[in-house]
């Protein structure tokens, strides 16, 4: 590395070096990963998980989610009393995939979770700046 004080460029050389290193870092592991998040009915999880496994995606985060969408409430009966349940119990699945596999993963999920019923779920995709495997320190696609 060139010493900025010796070249007489002051902070400009270090700013350029920082910008170049950041550009390389972004090319290596920036925006090459996508986080696919799926909200599903609980009885669809096994089918989606199996379909993603066949596609080659084996790691995912699965958690319980409660919320509501277009259906504001459901009327249910419990021990002879009728009440309005404003929240629906669902499952949230999160999968990290490469940018190239994101659309294919969505297609696999749609086929496995296909339903015409209202409230069948949602899928959204977000870009991931970086991912690091805690155990080994691997980054980007290697961390998957």
Tens of pLDDT, residue by residue over 76-131, are 777 888 877 667 789 999 999 999 999 999 999 999 999 887 778 899 999 998 89
The CA-based angle 25-30-32, given to 5 degrees, is: 135
Q: Could you report the per-residue pLDDT of 2-50, keeping only the tens digit for each?
A: 444 444 545 555 444 544 444 444 445 445 899 999 999 999 999 999 9
Pair 103, 93: CB distance under 8 Å: no
Say how many CA atoms lie within 13 Å of 98 toward its Cβ. Answer: 11
pTM: 0.69
From first CA to last CA, the distance across the chain in angstroms is: 33
Rounded alpha-carbon distances, angstroms, from residue 83 to 71, 75, 76, 78: 15, 6, 6, 8
Q: 126 pairs with which residues across the strands?
A: 35
* Rounded Cα–Cα distance for residues 28 and 117 (Å): 42
Residue 67: what are its φ and ψ, rounded to 5°? 180, -170
């Amino acid at each position: 590395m060139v010493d900025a004080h010796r070249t007489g460029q002051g902070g400009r050389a270090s700013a350029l070096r920082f910008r170049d290193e950041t550009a390389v870092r972004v090319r290596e592991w920036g925006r090459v990963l996508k986080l696919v998040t799926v909200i599903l009915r609980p009885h669809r999880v096994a089918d989606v998980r199996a379909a993603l496994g066949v596609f080659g995606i084996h790691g995912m985060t699965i958690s319980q989610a409660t919320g509501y969408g277009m259906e504001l409430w459901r009327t249910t009966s419990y021990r002879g009393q009728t009440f309005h349940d404003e929240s629906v119990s669902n499952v949230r699945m999160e999968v990290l995939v490469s940018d190239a596999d994101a659309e294919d993963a969505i297609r696999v999920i749609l086929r496995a979770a296909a339903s015409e019923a209202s409230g069948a779920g949602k899928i959204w995709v977000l870009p991931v700046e970086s991912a690091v495997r805690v155990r080994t320190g691997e980054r980007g696609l290697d961390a998957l």
